[in-house]
Amino acid sequence: MNLGMEGIPYNWHEQIINLLAERIVVVDRDGIILYINEAYCEFLGTTVEEAINRPVQDVIENTRMHIIAKTGQKELAAVHPINGSEMVANRFPLVVNGEIVGALGTVMFRNPEEWRMYKTKIQNLAEELNYYKTKVEKDLKSKYHFNGLIGNSPTFLATKKLAERISANNSSVLLIGESGTGKELFAHAIHNNSMRSSLPFVTINCASIPEHLLESELFGYEDGAFTGAKKGGKKGQFQVANNGTIFLDEIGDMPLAMQSKLLRVLQEKEIQRIGGQKSIAVDVRIIAATHRDLEKMVEEGKFRQDLYYRLNVIKIEIPPLRKRKEDIPLISLGLLKKLEGIFYRKGIELSSDVIKRLMQHTWPGNIRELENVLERAINVLDGKIIDLAHLPLYLRDLELDNTCVKETNKENKPSTIKPPLQVQPLKETLAKVEKDSILQALDVTNGNKQEAAKLLEIGKTSFYEKCKLYGIN
């Protein structure tokens, strides 16, 4: 059935035309005006009655409508001099049953000012779009290079050299190390030193994203895939990272169901959105990291063996801070420079006593804990020298363990001289107990934060906040 405009009341037509195009003219094959709307006539300084049935060139200055009606060649966004100004017009031939019967003309902009106003609006939108595009691209860039990884100890230099050597290829990398050792910094540096350095670098923390959201975060979803789905769907992080690198932090906390889907991506190099039917090809290099013992988890059935071998093409073990204590002064200096920029301070130094104290600590939170200690010290610092008094209580307590002096009396019997009892603020005492309890719970649960939170009988969110406060990851 061929439907036209017959169903629309005739007195609607004029309004519809005016809404679709403010200024419009229709001519027949001979260039005689068959229709012109009031908006165009007002612009031309005439009336509809005066313009109808007259040759178009007599009504519209410099018109080409009669030419279009003969040639059948459309003209888009043509500049048309008129009334001492210039407008922008579109001209279309009208074809019925394969024969040119006339032409249609519309005015897009009546004058350069109108065009400039439109251009300004478009330009503002383009600049805003470019701002957000630049911001997104910046967020997807890796931030650290190998020259920013500080340390001169033999174990650290060997690790750094291995990471530099393998960064140029596309093989999967598995970074092993305790929380706070700098696994993410190594991932950034590997990407920055690779052929993919100018392409996206996307970071996903597998432990911080709820299990029911992880699949949509990694692989995206189609429009209407589930209640509350974003209109038009959403790209997953694998698509965002296409041709670049994706860093899967805390891979040991990824649920088994997601592990099988990740394995498919590694094997087939394609993903499928939630609610989607087609597969989407992706080219992504995987860098994974964990503080967990994946080999033990494989034995216990908590981590897929086939995925482990796919990820473990190149394994890099990052040494904990306690195994490279000679790097502590150098790392502290680098962290102080970073913190000076944050706190708008300059020339902050560590006293020799503080350096000795930092060297004595075992650093269960590694570099992240060290940074938190220095940040705390700067917060309570009046001058420029960080001294023992500026350190948190649990580090100052080390003094009690090392100042007990044993003396020998005349009968050669050892005696212990203890320093006066030091009373610390209750807040710091409680903080030390709280931190020790968290570390103990993590040790019992082999680093599983959810289980540790259950042991301590506190909520998961509260547990994560406390871990962040004390530099425990």
Q: What is the pLDDT of residues 343-383, one digit of tens each?
A: 888 899 999 999 999 999 999 889 999 999 999 999 999 88
The low-confidence residues of the chain, meaning pLDDT below 50, are 1-2, 403-421
Q: Which of 325, 289, 47 is nearest to 179 (CA)?
A: 289
| Burial zone of 261 (CB within 10 Å; 0-12 exposed, 13-18 middle, 19+ buried) | middle
Strands 99-109 and 85-96: antiparallel
Q: Which residue carries 């394609």 as its tokens?
A: 270
Strands 270-271 and 220-221: unpaired
What is the per-residue pLDDT for 138?
54
Domain at 146-319: CATH code: 3.40.50.300
pLDDT per residue as tens digits for the range 180-216 = 999 999 999 999 999 999 899 999 999 888 888 888 9
Q: Which pLDDT score is estimated for 404?
A: 42
Does the domain formed by 327-424 have CATH 1.10.8.60?
yes
The pTM (predicted TM-score) of the whole model is 0.59
Going by C-beta distance under 8 Å and a sequence separation of 6 or more, which residues neighbour residue 439? Answer: 364, 472
Q: Which CATH class is domain 10-113?
A: alpha beta
Question: Where exactly are the structural domains of the chain?
Answer: 10-113, 146-319, 327-424, 429-473
Distance CA 340, CA 347 (A): 8
- The answer for 366, left when phi > 0, alpha when psi is -120 to 50, beta otherwise, is left
Among candidate residues 233, 231, 214, the one with its CA nearest the CA of residue 280? 233
First-to-last CA distance in the chain? 69
d(C-alpha 146, C-alpha 241), whole Å: 22
CB contact at 8 A, 241 and 196:
no
Side-chain-side CA neighbours of 173 within 13 Å: the count stands at: 29
Range 429-473: architecture per CATH: Orthogonal Bundle (1.10)
Which residue shows structure tokens 């680093």?
447
**Residue 125 near residue 43, CB atoms below 8 Å:** no
